A and B are shown apart, each in its own frame.
Chain A
């Protein structure tokens, strides 16, 4: 790339440019002094760089950069292990640092140093598999060249093992002793060949979280733990109505609190899409410390005026949805239409209908929204708990007008994302406040703000009809869903608003000759946005519950019903471009069935329930054993099998699968956001109870299917099937079919 030769210094970077269609260009760039996108930990003089991701010091310690934010998904461990394996690094000598945003100035436009930087959406590992192995391979190639020159033997006669190069005569050279020389060697013109799977030493082996020791000793710093010496703390009172206005404000008592310095009003910027500006009108109290700011906020006298959405109620919205699906109204979007559902209906042997109702949900991240920002004349420095640093950058750039490389965004480990941190309203707030204060600002959202002002997952009503012929074959499937799209007011064209709500290829699409899915738009003033597992979570609950109801109507074992619908192992093309491998789906179903001893399904007094799903080329099934002890539901066993292709870190995958299972159960059991007169009714964990230890199963038995296909993401893979498997088990245990979530409330109502 660099036609004018290569400067051999530690300022040299291996550049991985994401080309069209996933192609990659690997080259060299000489960084200017002004843009140093590396985190400070990687800038030490005693480190020799072998590309933007890898540093090695003279004693052989290896520092690897993790580009994607780790929100608890394990990517800070998995991504560096992908690099370290190709590098043949000694994992016990590897340290990992979060890279923060890598951005350079490309004629006024941003150029992303590290390519994709996005966490918690299930794409980190598939993307890393495509490009980060090359990073490790190039670094190893440089070390081999250095050893070859020193020994005077061709590099092809050397081999690498756990941080050493081994010569044909058995002499060993630690990477540390070669690092200085390797750092002076010109990068290869093309990527050296990647390892064969048989040579993997770290990929496929378990590793604990790289930050574990820092976390258990309290040394791990999250964004909320960062300070600048003279930064003011800002806490907010948002308007209870997202579209309301501030009618009156009296700050006298607030400003009298010792340590309170300023009160600032914030408003959403008109014309900006949701998630990139202030979420609702707000009043900020800026103070010398958090306690003073909180006291000041408590003393604010505010009168808010409701907006047009003040008449909104979640119960009314649900009634509206139910009426819409019960009538003959045309759908907003016909998402899929295979065969002829109406014609199939005319020769129906049996027709089944059911309606499923699911509530609004909040993100409930452990670490509340926060942001540390410092604005200087020609630079912005931020610490942001984000899943998408490039999108955070865009917000800062719009509000400051700074050149791309003048915006420094650090992303330490993030205390949960679940999609909330794909939006950057809190970054906009922090930047606006720092501007108003003329000082650095540490913005902190209190818990009540976090619950009351979210980009919620909208509630939904699903109505499904199935036609079954005389041979018990599923002839037709018509699914209709009504919801308020998460993509509304975000610049998405109207005819694509359905795409956040249901999937064109979701089960049992491609398996039923006559299949139709329709989406009906609802309007709501409540902000909506991406949510972990969306849209699979709500759809899998409806579909997998309904399949159980079909089995029950046919007096059939629900496992058999599913196996019959899935049929012979075959690869079915999906309209989204991938394939549905029915054999892999059947396999995970059978694995959980065997483990939970499904053969006792009819006989056991406890209820057994099962469900399966597929997500972007990965497959998942859950089996749940539940029992009713009086009015108490006891989840006795949970088994989950996943097939993600190649497993990078088995321990990490097990943790993700167990964690997503518990998250999904917790949400299904208790969680609901409700709206009354345009205001969210939940303001804390007391109103939005995540499940306690006692309510959750004591164990989640995780089965991971070994595979050699390119790895698929797994961060929410185990979410969709947990709730329907539980509801199906509850039906067997109690004879109560729960068609409305949260499950506990509905179960107690029906018992």
Chain B
């Protein structure tokens, strides 16, 4: 954003040149990269991530995000991507499952804990569980069973008991080296 404004100012200083119009669109950060969306501001973040950026790790769960498969972090908090029109995301930082690992490929401790506990069924809902789990660990670094019970995610494969173990493992710092 800052750079865009600087460009506009320097252009305006040159005499006889019409100042360039500030570009339309919504600036947002996804996994540390800057993007500008100039299409329909009502497009839900989910379809922007999947259809436009081709970040397909965030899954379609339902029209109201009911099963938690489409959770992403917006400024660190877990929200349903399909319930977030892009208009609401100007200046926000979005982290998807693709953005959880370090640039060097090192995994987030909860990602590693999911691998260690084999906390995966079909795997479709796993990105959503990870985002919800990371959100929980941020709010409560040592969650108890009652805290874990509050996770909004649904899973028909029945990975819940293994997810519970993975969250506890990550909280205890007992993850294998990623």
Contact = CB atoms under 8 A, between A and B. Distances in A.
Given A218-B97, A290-B51, A72 B157 contact: yes
Interface string B28-57: 000000000000100110010011101111
B75 interface: no
B63 to A, nearest CB: 6
A710 interface: no
A692 B149 contact: yes
Contact of B123 (A215, A368, A448, A693): A215
A81 B153 CA distance: 31
Contact of B126 (A216, A224, A697): A216
B67 interface: yes
Nearest to A211: B123
B13 to A, nearest CB: 38
Interface residues of B, number: 59
Interface residues of A, number: 61
Interface in A181-215: 208-209, 211-213, 215
B155 interface: yes
Interface of A: 70-72, 208-209, 211-213, 215-222, 224-225, 227, 233, 258, 289-291, 294, 364-368, 413-416, 418, 444, 446-448, 651-652, 655, 658-663, 666, 684-686, 690, 692-694, 696-700
Contacts of B98: 217-219
B63 A684 contact: yes
A702 B130 CA distance: 24
B55 A446 contact: no
Given A71-B122, A655-B121, A698-B161, A364 B156 contact: yes
Contacts of A72: 120-123, 157
A283 to B, nearest CB: 18
Nearest to B62: A447
A629 B122 CA distance: 34
Given A72-B123, A416-B157, A699-B161, 9 more contacts: A366-B157, A446-B62, A448-B62, A659-B157, A662-B160, A684-B62, A693-B153, A693-B160, A699-B164
Contact of A663 (B57, B63, B66, B156): B156
Interface string B118-140: 10111111110010000000000
A584 B56 CA distance: 46
A690 B155 contact: yes
B111 to A, nearest CB: 4
A366 B151 contact: no
A205 to B, nearest CB: 14
Residue of A70, A212, A663 with highest tally of chain B CB at under 10 A: A212
22 contacts: A208-B116, A212-B114, A213-B107, A213-B115, A215-B120, A216-B111, A216-B127, A217-B57, A218-B58, A218-B96, A224-B60, A291-B40, A365-B156, A366-B122, A448-B63, A655-B120, A663-B157, A666-B158, A692-B149, A693-B150, A693-B160, A694-B150
Nearest to A417: B122
Nearest to B164: A698
A366 B156 contact: yes
Interface of B: 40, 43-44, 47, 50-52, 54-64, 66-67, 69, 96-98, 100-101, 107, 111, 114-116, 118, 120-127, 130, 145, 148-164
Contacts of A289: 47, 51-52
A368 B124 CA distance: 10
B50 A693 contact: no
Nearest to A451: B62
Looking at chain A's contact residues, the main secondary structure is: loop
B114 A216 contact: yes
A47 to B, nearest CB: 24
A663 to B, nearest CB: 5
B64 A684 contact: yes
A292 to B, nearest CB: 8
A222 B124 contact: yes
Contact of B161 (A366, A367, A658, A690): A658
Nearest to B152: A692
Given A209-B120, A416-B122, A216 B63 contact: no
B154 A692 contact: yes
A274 B142 CA distance: 51
Residue of B61, B67, B158 with highest tally of chain A CB at under 10 A: B158
A218 B148 contact: no
A319 B134 CA distance: 49
A287 to B, nearest CB: 10
A325 B57 CA distance: 50
B148 A693 contact: yes
Contacts of A71: 122
- Nearest 9 A-B pairs (CB), nearest first? A218-B57, A72-B122, A662-B158, A415-B124, A659-B158, A447-B62, A218-B97, A225-B56, A694-B149
A715 B11 CA distance: 66
Given A72-B157, A225-B56, A216 B107 contact: yes
Contacts of B164: 693, 698-699
Contacts of B123: 72, 209, 211, 215, 220, 413, 415
B136 to A, nearest CB: 11
Contacts of B69: 366
B59 A685 contact: no
Contacts of B126: 215-216
A690 B156 contact: yes
A663 B122 CA distance: 13
B122 A413 contact: yes
B161 A447 contact: no
